């Protein structure tokens, strides 16, 4: 009987991972709370449960395991480390501890642990009132970043500068935190990198290494809106080495070992600083598409192997090539969508790998306030990063999402 992998999330970005697991000959069980989740259709078996409902998913997995043993559990394109570690613990599967999942789910606990372990993080403080925010401003000066300790997708993440209404900002950030808790950090200037590593006891490697593009920092201020990213990185080899070393040290400090680790790192004036280290696979098509297209590394296959407790070969995770891959997002003017260009034609343009459109005629588009409000994206490939960026930007210019003031 083939081994069985429980995949948490059947969302659209999980499809490549579900497909990869099936191609590995695995029996794939997909968990999702929405019957419409497209990944469910690819699954050998389905469990309908909210991916955030830790106890609910554990109970459903135990019931399933009575008829067919489960050999591994993994999340694909979903930020649910507590669900994954809960199932792993309950069924005795490979995985991270509940403590690590908790550290990865709370940005304040995470920064405290990283600081204790000597990993560079921005100056940070919990804030329980707008007076605390004012104290932080007078102590540290601008710019600062305020964020919910337990949200995602940059919801409620604000760059505080002169002129931002602190009462409003605090209230907004609190409203985006499930537990109503927020923190402030020093804003670290410098190039931002997304990293994705495999971290084992005896070795670690970071085949995922993508420069993030924050050209809209001023345009959408105080919101911190990313506009895609590209690889190979423009960082000098010694800087890239330092960023990778910091990412791996952060993963180890949080107990992310025997698993994959996804980092947001800034190369600040004094060296790499950790903004976040997640105990899961990346979303945003990074682990599923950008890493394999750019480097030839089968990152999802390695992650699935780790989840099953199989050995992974370090040589398989070393980049075989450095091809240009770029993502850019669509930022139409806010309003009601009146027209969308010829997407099918754009998809056939040279180097265009994937276009995802999240809006159609009649939908309303707001000013982007977090990464879940994107109107869509294009991913393009090229010989190098400049060519890939150029091809992606050409699609952005001709995407033709027209809006009229609502
Ligand atoms: N202190 C900081 N200095 C510089 N940039 C920051 C800082 N904090 C956050 N950012 C930028 O804003 C992004 C979003 O912040 P953060 O990761 O804390 O929130 P999130 O909700 O987890 O968002 P995402 O899901 O996009 O990672 C970061 O990935 C980073 O690019
Ligand atoms: Mg983050």
Task: Give yes or no for residue 333 having a pLDDT over 90.
Answer: yes
Decide if 98 is inside a domain: no
Please work out whether the CB of residue 152 comes within 6 Å of at least one atom of ligand 1: yes
How many C-beta atoms surround the C-beta of residue 190 within 10 A? 15
Decide if 12 is inside a domain: yes
Domain boundary among 135, 166, 186: 186
Angstrom CA distances, 116 to 49, 119, 131, 208, 253, stand at 37, 8, 27, 26, 9
Instruction: Quote the CA–CA distance of 4 and 28 in Å, as a whole number.
Output: 6
> What's the CA-to-centroid distance between 335 and ligand 2, angstroms?
28
Residue among 188, 276, 277 to mutate when testing ligand 1 (max atoms within 8 A of CB): 276
Domain identity same for 300 and 346: no
Instruction: Quote the CA–CA distance of 42 and 78 in Å, as a whole number.
Output: 17
Which of 102, 105, 106, 146 shows the shortest CA–CA distance to 124? Answer: 146
Give phi and psi for 41, each to the nearest 5: -65, -25
Decide if 118 is inside a domain: no
4 confidence band (pLDDT: 50, 70, 90): very high
Please work out whether the CB of residue 122 comes within 6 Å of at least one atom of ligand 1: yes
Digit-coded pLDDT (tens) for 361-394: 999 999 999 988 899 999 999 999 999 999 999 9
Domain identity same for 180 and 193: no
Domain boundary among 162, 186, 210: 186
Q: Whose CA is nearest to atom 19 of ligand 1?
A: 154
> What pLDDT is recorded for position 26?
98
Which of 208, 196, 263, 261 shows the shortest CA–CA distance to 233? Answer: 208
Domain identity same for 48 and 89: yes
Please calculate the CA angle 230-234-238 and round it to the nearest 5 degrees.
135
Assign residue 49 the CATH number of its domain.
3.40.50.20
Which of 142, 178, 140 shows the shortest CA–CA distance to 158? Answer: 142
Locate the ligand 1 atom nearest the alpha carbon of residue 186 and give its number: 1
Which of 199, 358, 389 shows the shortest CA–CA distance to 294? Answer: 389
Rounded mean pLDDT, 304-308: 98
Residue among 124, 140, 160, 224 to mutate when testing ligand 1 (max atoms within 8 A of CB): 224
Percent of the chain exceeding pLDDT 70 equals: 100
Q: Encoding tokens for residue 275?
A: 């903004």
Please work out whether the CB of residue 176 comes within 6 Å of at least one atom of ligand 1: no
In the block, which residue shows the tokens 């999240």?
Answer: 358
Please work out whether the CB of residue 223 comes within 6 Å of at least one atom of ligand 1: no
> What pLDDT is recorded for position 368?
93
Decide if 175 is inside a domain: yes
Domain identity same for 318 and 193: yes
Instruction: Quote the CA–CA distance of 40 and 35 in Å, as a whole number.
Output: 8
> What pLDDT is recorded for position 406?
80
289 confidence band (pLDDT: 50, 70, 90): very high
Count: domains in the chain: 4
Domain identity same for 334 and 285: no
> What's the CA-to-centroid distance between 154 and ligand 1, angstroms?
6
Assign residue 149 the CATH number of its domain.
3.30.1490.20
Instruction: Quote the CA–CA distance of 33 and 309 in Å, as a whole number.
Output: 27
Locate the ligand 1 atom nearest the alpha carbon of residue 226 and give its number: 31
H or E element, residue 265: strand 259-268
Locate the ligand 1 atom nearest the alpha carbon of residue 192 and give its number: 31
Q: Whose CA is nearest to atom 24 of ligand 1?
A: 153
**Domain boundaries, position 182:** 123-186
Domain identity same for 199 and 295: yes
Locate the ligand 1 atom nearest the alpha carbon of residue 194 and give its number: 29
Domain identity same for 26 and 78: yes
Decide if 147 is inside a domain: yes
Domain identity same for 170 and 246: no
According to DSSP, the β-strands at 182-186 and 158-160 are: unpaired
Decide if 272 is inside a domain: yes
Residue 158 near residue 116, CB atoms below 8 Å: no
Decide if 206 is inside a domain: yes
Domain identity same for 21 and 79: yes
Domain identity same for 33 and 73: yes
Please work out whether the CB of residue 154 comes within 6 Å of at least one atom of ligand 1: yes
- The residues, any chain, with a CB within 8 Å of residue 397's CB and separated by 6 or more, are none
Q: Whose CA is nearest to atom 7 of ligand 1?
A: 187
Residue 158 near residue 167, CB atoms below 8 Å: no
Q: Encoding tokens for residue 19?
A: 């497909």
**What's the whole-number average pLDDT of the chain?**
97
pTM score: 0.97
Task: Give yes or no for residue 275 having a pLDDT over 90.
Answer: yes
Task: Give yes or no for residue 131 having a pLDDT over 90.
Answer: yes
Decide if 115 is inside a domain: no
Q: In what order do the strands lie in the sheet with 376-382?
A: 271-278, 259-268, 192-199, 204-212, 229-231, 324-329, 376-382, 352-357
36 confidence band (pLDDT: 50, 70, 90): very high
Please name every residue paired with 66 in a beta bridge, in sequence order, or none if there are none: none
Pick the ligand that lies closest to the CA of residue 264. 1
The b/e string for 370-381 (b: 16+ C-beta within 10 A; e otherwise) is: bbebbbbbbbbb
> What pLDDT is recorded for position 199?
98
How many C-beta atoms surround the C-beta of residue 142 within 10 A? 12
> What pLDDT is recorded for position 271?
98
Digit-coded pLDDT (tens) for 140-162: 999 999 999 999 999 999 999 99
Digit-coded pLDDT (tens) for 206-240: 999 999 999 999 999 999 999 999 999 999 999 99
Domain boundary among 186, 202, 222: 186
Question: Which string of DSSP letters, residue by residue, matches 316-349?
Answer: GGS-S---EEEEEE--PPSEEEEE---HHHHHTS
Report the Cα 76 to chain-centroid distance in Å: 11
Residue 205 near residue 158, CB atoms below 8 Å: no
Q: Whose CA is nearest to atom 10 of ligand 1?
A: 275
> What pLDDT is recorded for position 42?
98
Please work out whether the CB of residue 267 comes within 6 Å of at least one atom of ligand 1: no
Q: Whose CA is nearest to atom 11 of ligand 1?
A: 224
> What's the CA-to-centroid distance between 205 and ligand 2, angstroms?
21
Pick the ligand that lies closest to the CA of residue 194. 1
Give phi and psi for 117, each to the nearest 5: -90, 10
Assign residue 199 the CATH number of its domain.
3.30.470.20
Domain identity same for 383 and 362: yes
Task: Give yes or no for residue 119 having a pLDDT over 90.
Answer: yes
Domain identity same for 289 and 329: no
């Amino acid at each position: 009987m083939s081994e069985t992998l429980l995949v948490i999330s059947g969302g659209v970005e999980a499809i490549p991972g579900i497909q990869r697991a099936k191609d590995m000959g695995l029996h794939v069980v997909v968990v999702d709370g929405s019957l419409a989740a497209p990944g469910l259709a690819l699954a050998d078996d389905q469990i309908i449960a909210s991916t955030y409902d830790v106890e609910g998913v554990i109970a459903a997995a135990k019931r399933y395991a009575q008829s067919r043993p489960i050999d591994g559990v993994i999340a694909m394109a979903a930020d649910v480390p507590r669900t994954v570690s809960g199932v792993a613990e309950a069924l005795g599967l490979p995985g991270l501890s509940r403590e690590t999942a908790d550290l990865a789910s709370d940005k304040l606990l995470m920064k405290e642990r990283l600081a204790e372990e000597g990993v560079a993080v921005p100056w940070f403080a919990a804030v329980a009132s707008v007076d605390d925010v004012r104290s932080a401003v007078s102590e540290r000066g601008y710019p600062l970043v305020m964020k919910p300790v337990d949200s995602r997708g940059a919801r409620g993440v604000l760059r505080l500068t002169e002129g931002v209404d602190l009462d409003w900002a605090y209230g907004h950030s609190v409203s985006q935190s499930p537990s109503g808790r927020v923190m402030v950090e020093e804003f670290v200037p410098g190039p931002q990198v997304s990293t994705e590593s495999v971290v084992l006891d005896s070795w670690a490697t970071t085949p995922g290494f993508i420069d993030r593009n924050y050209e809209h920092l001023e345009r959408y201020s105080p919101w911190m809106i990313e506009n895609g990213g590209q690889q190979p990185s423009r960082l000098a080899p010694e800087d890239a080495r330092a960023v990778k070393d910091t990412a791996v040290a952060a993963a180890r400090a949080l107990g992310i070992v025997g698993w994959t680790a996804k980092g947001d790192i800034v190369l600040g004036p004094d060296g790499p600083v950790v903004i976040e280290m997640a105990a899961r696979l990346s979303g945003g098509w990074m682990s599923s598409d950008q890493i394999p297209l750019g480097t030839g590394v089968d990152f999802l296959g390695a992650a699935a192997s780790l989840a099953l407790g199989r050995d992974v070969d370090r040589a398989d995770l070393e980049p075989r090539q450095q091809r240009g891959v770029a993502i850019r997002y669509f930022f139409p003017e806010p309003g009601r969508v009146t027209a969308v260009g010829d997407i099918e034609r754009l998809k056939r343009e040279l180097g265009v790998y994937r276009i995802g459109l999240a809006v159609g005629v009649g939908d309303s588009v707001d000013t982007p306030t977090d990464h879940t409000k994107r109107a869509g994206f294009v991913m393009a490939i090229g010989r190098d990063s400049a060519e890939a960026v150029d091809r992606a930007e050409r699609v952005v210019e001709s995407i033709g999402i027209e809006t009229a003031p609502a």
